Amino acid sequence: MEIPKTYDPKQAEEGHYSRWEREGCFAPEANGDPQAPVYSIVIPPPNVTGSLHMGHALQHTVMDVLTRYHRMRGFRTLWLPGTDHAGISTQIMVERQLKKEEGKSRHDVGREEFVRRVWAWKEQYGGEITRQMRREGASVDWSRERFTMDERLSRAVREFFVRCYEEGLIYRGPGMINWCPKDQTALSDLEVEKEPTRPDESKLYYLQYPVKGGDGRVTVATTRPETMLGDTAVAVSPKDERYAGLIGQTLLLPVVGREIPVVADEFVDPEFGTGAVKVTPAHDPADYAMGQRHGLPQVQVIDQHARMTAEAGAEFEGLDRYEARKLVVEKFEGLGLLEKVADYEFSITKCGRCRTVIEPLVSTQWFLKQAELGREPLRLIREQHEPRFVPENPYEKVYENWLAGLYDWTLSRQLWWGHRIPAWYDEAGNVYVARTEEDARAAAGTDRLEQDPDVLDTWFSSALWPVSTLGWPDEDSPDLKTFYPTSVLVTARDIIFLWVSRMMMTGVKFAGEKAFDDVFITGTVFDKHGQRMSKTKQNGVDPLDVFDKYGVDATRLVLASIGSTDTRWNDNQVESYRNFANKIWNAARFCLLNSEGAEVGRGFEGEPERWALHDRWIVSRLNKTAREVASAVEAYQFHEAVYALYHFFWDDFCDWYIELSKSDVTAEAAGPGRDAARSRVLTVLEQALRLLHPFMPFITEELWQRLPGVGKESLHAAYRAAEVTPTVMLAGFPRADEALIDERAEAEMRAVIELVSRVRNIRTELSVKPGEYLPRLFVGTPDGRLRHVFANSAEQITRLTRASKVYVADRLESFAGGANGGNPDGVDIPRASARAVLAGGAEVAVPLEGLIDFAQERARITREREKQERELQKAEAQLSNPQFVERAPAEKVEELRRRAAEAGQRIKALGEMLEALGE
């Protein structure tokens, strides 16, 4: 068998995925066990316009690990993929293309044609992210792929809308909304962002309004002077004594000449500014509310293009809002009514998409009363902590606080791409909300209906994603019955409100149950300077580049380790896991190059008590690792799983087990002993590949396929009937067998490892040439069992320390003195030996005639003795504290006593060593 020395990820990433997909391995139908428990995840649908970024890769890795793990555990597992139509983004992208290629606007081609072109665009370019997901190894069920504008999902949207309308949860009416003058649409509060002002914007203007019938003036402070053209009142706090006499009086609005009242309102903070607030009900959310309370008229002075209207006056009409601001300030200055301009930092609301400054406008839109839909989710989180957030802090609280403060959601968007609002108007302007146009006609009794031109917020359809993708509103949909509620939602924290909370609302309302049991919130990946990765900053790391450079599996290990932690991206980490992949490759290479006569699943016959120590040990380590990985994955502690796998594979399996087994595995002579040893390393490797598979699907499959003795019977029982090429992804995930976890074997192996390490350390410190053989090693231990262990492992100890022979006795002293009473071979330990103490009272001596500098050696041992003395002192100080002995748990006291005793023993042994060296 030809196996390259270096793992080539590209080669392994090429073939397996398409076979898995083709053979239906990703579909829950592969599971033939009718009793199988169910595990399901719906993907947060990426924008159809999007391409893969690190955040996706992180989420997808987490979801894929969970999916593959549960699949291997025999769950009927579904991970459902799909994409989101992403209203504004997609529309803008196609508009841009239209402009560039044909020089036309969407209005030039008309609505119907434009929407047709968006669909065409989607068909042509929309699949990019789904191709990239295949590259990631994402084991999603492509046969169930969904798009938010699919006919069936659109039906769900209409059903949701109509039902809410019928219950009075959705209404149409005027309201204060966020208007983007560039995108020409209303936006919800979650689609806008606050930004701090630049220095040149950070101004607060103090304007004076004269009191009618007197020479008094009232000063108001504003950041937006141009809105004064639409002022219809000035408000003061009812508690503010300074203005008590002014309430009810009339002011003359400068420039405009309108008479406006002074009203009292609790909202006004007497401490801020002048304590008097200009009120512009048509252009400020707070003023709108005040206007409602006091029955003030609304004067719209700014239009949808952020230009001044005719109502702003002839001088201002047509001016941009910032030009108008300048002019207003000039006018006030000319009138002597500009009191001052102060520096003042505040925040400006901008469109989350295009960064244009939002214009608050009063407009007739469709709204959803979220507070009512949110009531049950709020109860669930408060009373039952459902869904369970991971990490719980701070997300559960963030989510709860959000639900507790819900307000109406602006649903309608003045776009062409999206779900058209299912509302029709007759010529008299009556509205008919219906599931279909036919229903609307029937209700209206006429065919002469116009459908509402607006579309719904993209997040409206997203809110239905878990139910709509599984078949709702068909309540007897088998998928809905089987896979709902989903097991976990994996997403980033910035859409907890936009999306997570709303899925819970629709889920409890329409499916009668929470949409998911758990919510796993992934961390954020920053660049190496701690900056958020963004397109505009050009500082993003493209996951596909990382895949190309280091391989998908290595990247996935990094991402899985990141999990819920915010992290600065660092290629070094990926490189080290690339090295790990190569390590796996080469360990397998060794096993395979020595696999003649071997077969996976054999070699561990008979009672474990009769196995060699290192076999009992590796099986124990394997089972512990299986236990750790399983509990870590189930607790979403992926870094713990990765850590356990990395160290099991590299340290336990490669550094020790393979090395300990090497002479048996590579023995010249074929025979049952060699076959068994070869089978054992193969078997451990095969189990390790299964454990690694959820994290590293490609390399594990590539290697697993090459193992002798794997086949259909290796698959988890639930998949044996499936017509698939045997694959590790459908093999059973190793279940920890507690009976095979052998603490004694682990302790004994630790002793062997320590012995080997100490001897190697001595070799290095005394500059013994790597190739040179130590003629003899002496080991003394009072522990009879350990003496057996060392004696039984003599071949391995000598090989791993490059020694020719190892002698074991009850104590080093037994070898000393020339009488040779204690040891069978009758050898003495020469004075020129390096010595060290080991755990549990064991000692080792390494004769190094000619290499020992006695003074140096004495110094080395003296240093060690001093260290032990400090240890002992510390322990004794604590033990002589009666408070400690009295109050600390008995086991802790006991442990400290043990440590003190051991230190004492070591000090004594080191003293004897000094004597043996000769003072």
Region 893-912 residues binding RNA, contact defined as CB under 7 A: 896, 899
- Using CB under 7 A as the binding rule, whether residue 851 contacts RNA is answered as no
Q: Minimum Å distance from CB 53 to RNA?
A: 17
Measured CA distances, 619 to 59, 661, 739 (Å)? 33, 13, 10
Q: Which CB, 509 or 860, lies closer to RNA?
A: 860
201, 659, 783, 810: which one binds RNA (CB under 7 A)? 659
From the list 177-185, 400-408, 471-479, 617-625, the region that binds RNA by CB under 7 A is 400-408
Near RNA in 426-485, by CB under 7 A: none
- Using CB under 7 A as the binding rule, whether residue 631 contacts RNA is answered as no
- Using CB under 7 A as the binding rule, whether residue 221 contacts RNA is answered as yes
Cα–Cα nearest to 191, from 181, 182, 178, 174: 178
**What CA–CA distance (Å, rounded) separates 30 from 37?**
14
With contacts defined by CB under 7 A, how many residues of the chain interact with RNA? 93
116, 379, 382, 528: which one binds RNA (CB under 7 A)? 528
1, 2, 5, 607: which one binds RNA (CB under 7 A)? 5
**What CA–CA distance (Å, rounded) separates 748 from 615?**
12
333, 447, 513, 566: which one binds RNA (CB under 7 A)? 566
- Using CB under 7 A as the binding rule, whether residue 272 contacts RNA is answered as yes
- Using CB under 7 A as the binding rule, whether residue 124 contacts RNA is answered as no
- Using CB under 7 A as the binding rule, whether residue 761 contacts RNA is answered as yes
Alpha-carbon Rg for the chain, nearest whole angstrom, is 38
Q: Minimum Å distance from CB 887 to RNA?
A: 4
From the list 15-23, 249-257, 310-318, 885-893, the region that binds RNA by CB under 7 A is 885-893
> Can you spell out the DSSP letters for 860-877?
HHHHHHHHHHHHHHHHHH
Beta bridge partners of 867: none
Map residues 678-707 to x or -, x wherever contact with RNA holds by CB under 7 A: ------------------------------
72, 140, 220, 546: which one binds RNA (CB under 7 A)? 220
- Using CB under 7 A as the binding rule, whether residue 339 contacts RNA is answered as no
429, 889, 918, 919: which one binds RNA (CB under 7 A)? 889
**What CA–CA distance (Å, rounded) separates 730 from 32?**
12
Q: Minimum Å distance from CB 852 to RNA?
A: 17
- Using CB under 7 A as the binding rule, whether residue 24 contacts RNA is answered as no
Q: Which CB, 439 or 575, lies closer to RNA?
A: 575
Q: Minimum Å distance from CB 499 to RNA?
A: 13
Beta bridge partners of 320: 307
**What CA–CA distance (Å, rounded) separates 275 from 17?**
68
Q: Which CB, 542 or 659, lies closer to RNA?
A: 659
Give 16-24 contacts, CB < 8 A, sequence gap 24+.
16/697, 16/698, 16/701, 16/702, 16/727, 17/134, 17/137, 17/698, 18/134, 19/725, 19/727, 20/139, 20/727, 20/729, 21/134, 21/142, 23/722, 23/723, 23/724, 23/725, 24/143, 24/722, 24/724
Q: Which CB, 6 or 35, lies closer to RNA?
A: 6
> Can you spell out the DSSP letters for 143-166?
GG-EETTSHHHHHHHHHHHHHHHH
Looking only at the bridges linking them, the beta strands covering 146-147 and 82-83 are parallel
Cα–Cα nearest to 191, from 492, 498, 402: 498
Near RNA in 190-209, by CB under 7 A: 194, 204
109, 654, 740, 741: which one binds RNA (CB under 7 A)? 654
Measured CA distances, 604 to 504, 677, 679, 701 (Å)? 50, 9, 8, 24
- Using CB under 7 A as the binding rule, whether residue 219 contacts RNA is answered as no
Q: Which CB, 404 or 717, lies closer to RNA?
A: 404
**What CA–CA distance (Å, rounded) separates 61 from 67?**
10
Q: Which CB, 183 or 231, lies closer to RNA?
A: 231
Q: Which CB, 221 or 444, lies closer to RNA?
A: 221
Near RNA in 402-431, by CB under 7 A: 402, 405
From the list 120-128, 566-574, 735-743, 803-811, the region that binds RNA by CB under 7 A is 566-574
62, 277, 844, 872: which one binds RNA (CB under 7 A)? 277
The distance between the two most distant Cα atoms of the chain, rounded to a whole number of Å, is 126
Residue type, 768: V
Q: Which CB, 118 or 584, lies closer to RNA?
A: 584
Near RNA in 134-173, by CB under 7 A: none
- Using CB under 7 A as the binding rule, whether residue 639 contacts RNA is answered as yes
**What CA–CA distance (Å, rounded) separates 690 from 71?**
12
For residues 599 and 706, is the Cβ–Cβ distance under 8 A? no
Number of other residues whose CB lies within 10 A of the CB of residue 120: 12
Q: Minimum Å distance from CB 863 to RNA?
A: 10
- Using CB under 7 A as the binding rule, whether residue 393 contacts RNA is answered as yes
From the list 138-146, 149-157, 418-426, 563-571, the region that binds RNA by CB under 7 A is 563-571
- Using CB under 7 A as the binding rule, whether residue 222 contacts RNA is answered as yes
* Burial (Cβ within 10 Å: 0-12, 13-18, ≥19) of residue 837: buried
For residues 512 and 462, is the Cβ–Cβ distance under 8 A? no
Q: Minimum Å distance from CB 202 to RNA?
A: 11
- Using CB under 7 A as the binding rule, whether residue 864 contacts RNA is answered as no
Element holding 569 (H helix, E strand): none
- Using CB under 7 A as the binding rule, whether residue 536 contacts RNA is answered as no
Q: Minimum Å distance from CB 151 to RNA?
A: 34
**Three-state SS for 722?**
coil
Number of other residues whose CB lies within 10 A of the CB of residue 524: 19
Q: Where are the alpha helices (DSSP H) in 527-656?
A: 543-550, 552-562, 571-593, 613-634, 638-647
Q: Which two tokens stand for residue 186?
A: 């209303």
From the list 71-79, 261-269, 805-813, 852-860, the region that binds RNA by CB under 7 A is 261-269
Q: Minimum Å distance from CB 710 to RNA?
A: 20
11, 105, 184, 401: which one binds RNA (CB under 7 A)? 401
106, 278, 413, 614: which one binds RNA (CB under 7 A)? 278
- Using CB under 7 A as the binding rule, whether residue 765 contacts RNA is answered as yes
For residues 502 and 510, is the Cβ–Cβ distance under 8 A? no
**What CA–CA distance (Å, rounded) separates 855 from 858?**
5
Measured CA distances, 400 to 189, 463, 502 (Å)? 18, 17, 13
For residues 896 and 878, is the Cβ–Cβ distance under 8 A? yes
**Three-state SS for 347?**
strand
Starting at the edge strand that comes first in sequence, how are the strands of the sheet with 450-451 ordered? Answer: 431-433, 423-425, 450-451
Near RNA in 480-509, by CB under 7 A: 493-494, 497
Q: Which CB, 115 or 358, lies closer to RNA?
A: 358
For residues 331 and 255, is the Cβ–Cβ distance under 8 A? yes
Near RNA in 570-599, by CB under 7 A: 570, 572-573, 575-576, 578-579, 581-583, 586-587, 589-590, 593
Near RNA in 784-843, by CB under 7 A: none
Q: Which CB, 430 or 570, lies closer to RNA?
A: 570
Q: Which CB, 250 or 637, lies closer to RNA?
A: 637
Q: Which CB, 491 or 567, lies closer to RNA?
A: 567
- Using CB under 7 A as the binding rule, whether residue 783 contacts RNA is answered as no
For residues 635 and 66, is the Cβ–Cβ distance under 8 A? no
Q: Which CB, 186 or 277, lies closer to RNA?
A: 277
From the list 107-115, 313-321, 396-404, 774-782, the region that binds RNA by CB under 7 A is 396-404
Q: Minimum Å distance from CB 788 to RNA?
A: 24
